[in-house]
Each structure stands twice: as structure tokens, then as C-alpha cells.
Amino acid sequence: MISKKVLLFAAVCLLLSACGQKQETPEPTPSATESNAAAPSGGTSATSTDSETGQNQENGTDPAGPNDQNNNDKQNGQEQPVNLYYIDHTNNVVPLEEGAEKKVVLLTFDDGPKEKEMIDDLIDTLDKHNAKAIFFVNGYRVKEKPELLKLIHDRGQIIGNHSWDHIDLNIETEDSVRKQIEDVQNIVEDTIGEKPRFFRPPFGSVNDTLQQIVGENDMIYTTWSNDSLDWDPKNNKPEAVIQNIMDQMHPGSNILMHELPWTVEGLDELLTKLEAEGYSFVDPRTISDNPGTGN
């Protein structure tokens, strides 16, 4: 009797012991999402991008949504340099505050856009020297070749207003002057999405009405303080253009040049000479339209 009880008790213990053992199962393969979560945060793999895109599509959301917009906003913010300079009544570039570099020049090119090859060569040289310039354009040329305006803008250079027809605005009526200026503002905005901040009058013309209209259009009025004379047939050689500029060089020089073959050819040597003399190149985006406040 006792032996039967012992056997029964042993059987029960054996059964309970078997139930308590952990069942061996195959190790699950990590999903794409889990793999991405374990990936380093410093980069985004192709798998991660594909996975996120698929999830967004399933959820009915646009993968280029708010995050991309925020990134664009940050990027745009980074592209807006702090105001460091203003253009004074002598058309020189002057530091807003003590501490800003004084030995600087402003590079400008008038009467374009003309030819793609010249523009590309100009900007290639500017890029080589990490320089920005203002390209003062005429409206009629933009109308003829809007793709060249886009090229200048897309390559990171700055657009300025040089009137529609390149005429002497001193002898025009107020209505004509306004049209010459504002038609350029409109066609530039229609082409690249923003209006010019700088205005240079053809032939350096200046009068109160002209300056008032420029101000009403939120532009900075400027002529120049260093004329390359590249427009004069007597100076249609690179060495002549370079010498003219160097002879007039001074801190804050606002250099007038044009989209001309000899100017394009001599630009690299000119910028190299300027750098050798300790000059740097003003980013036009750092020029304030309000010297009193730096705004």
C-alpha cells in the first residue's frame, strides 16, 4: 500500500518538474525597424529611409513633412549672416561696429545677365576665393534669358537691380523711373522667388525722386567707389582692368566691374592680388539697410 503511494507521489513530482521547464524556441530575426533603432544616430542608412518611407505611406503621411520643413527653416536661418557692414554716403563699405574687419572690398558686376559661359567662369573664380558678389541685372536681359538669372541665384550669388533698360534715370519722369525700377523687382521675384535688396542706377545717376522710389522698394541705394573702367575700350585687357582697380584700392572699396570677357579673364589674378595685400571680400548679405540699428 505504502509502495503504491510512493510511486504515485513520484509520478506527480515528475510531471510537475516537466511542466516547469522553459520551452526552447528559435531566436527571432530582428525586424528592419528594430535594426534601425539600434543603428548609430550619426547617420541614416538606406534601410532606415526605406522603412520610414513605407511607414509614412501606410499612415497616409508625407515623408517630406514637418521635419523636412523644420530642417529647411534651420538651413535658411544659417544662410542669413549677421549684419556687419553698411554702405556710407561715399559708397564705401563700412563696419557697423568695432571689431568687424575693415580691410574689405565689395565685388559687383553690372549689365547682365549676358552669357552662360561668362557667368559660370565668373562664379567659378568667386567660388575658388570663397567670395560673394552682387550681380546688378537689367530687366530686359532677364526677360530674354531668365535661366541665367536662375543660374546666378542657384550658385549662391546675389542679385541687384540695375533698372530695366539701362537708361539715364535723371532725365526720366517719376512714373518712368518707378516703372524702370519696379518692373525689375517684379521679374526677378517671379524668376527666383525673391526681390533684390540692392539698387545701382545706370551711369551713377542720383536725385531725390530716384532715391525715394528705391527706398519705397526696400532697397539699398549704391553706386561705387572704385571703377575698374572695364567698360572703356581702352581697357579691354585683363592687366588694364587689374591695374585700374589696384590703383584705386582702399579699405571698403565698392568695386564696379561688368560681365565682360577681359574682366572674367583677369578676375582670378585680381582676387589673388587683393588677398595677398590682406583684403577679404564682403558677403553682400552682411550689409545692413539700416546703419543705425544693424537691421
Position 17 scores a pLDDT of: 43
Over residues 204-257, the pLDDT tens digits come to 999 999 999 999 999 999 999 999 999 999 999 999 999 999 999 999 999 999
Taking the domains of the chain in order of start, what are their residue ranges? 85-286
- How is domain 85-286 classified at the CATH fold level? TIM Barrel (3.20.20)
Compute the distance between CA of residue 270 and CA of residue 249 in angstroms, rounded to an integer. Answer: 11
Compute the distance between CA of residue 120 and CA of residue 275 in angstroms, rounded to an integer. Answer: 22
What phi and psi values does residue 91 have, to the nearest 5 degrees?
Answer: 70, 20
More confident residue, 75 or 155: 155
Position 164 scores a pLDDT of: 98
Confidence of residue 292 (pLDDT cuts 50, 70, 90): low
Helix or strand run (H / E) with residue 5 = helix 2-20
Over residues 123-160, the pLDDT tens digits come to 999 999 999 999 999 999 999 999 999 999 999 999 99
Q: What is the mean pLDDT of residues 47-71?
A: 38
% pLDDT > 90, the chain: 69
Position 42 scores a pLDDT of: 34
Confidence of residue 269 (pLDDT cuts 50, 70, 90): very high
Position 290 scores a pLDDT of: 76
Going by C-beta distance under 8 Å and a sequence separation of 6 or more, which residues neighbour residue 155? 123, 127
Position 130 scores a pLDDT of: 98
Compute the distance between CA of residue 266 and CA of residue 270 in angstroms, rounded to an integer. Answer: 6
- For the cut 80, the answer to whether the pLDDT of residue 291 exceeds it is no
More confident residue, 142 or 27: 142
Q: What is the mean pLDDT of residues 189-193?
A: 98
Position 79 scores a pLDDT of: 59
Confidence of residue 295 (pLDDT cuts 50, 70, 90): low
Average pLDDT taken over every residue of the chain? 81
Position 175 scores a pLDDT of: 98
Cα 62 to Cα 54, 70, 71, distances in angstroms: 10, 14, 15
What phi and psi values does residue 114 have, to the nearest 5 degrees?
Answer: -110, -65
As given in the structure block, the three cell numbers for residue 92 are 564705401
- For the cut 50, the answer to whether the pLDDT of residue 12 exceeds it is no
Position 187 scores a pLDDT of: 98
Pairing relationship of beta strands 158-161 and 133-137 according to DSSP bridges:
parallel
Q: Cβ(116)–Cβ(106) under 8 Å?
A: no
The pTM of this model reads 0.74
Q: Which of 1-5, 18-22, 88-92, 147-151 is predicted least confidently? A: 18-22
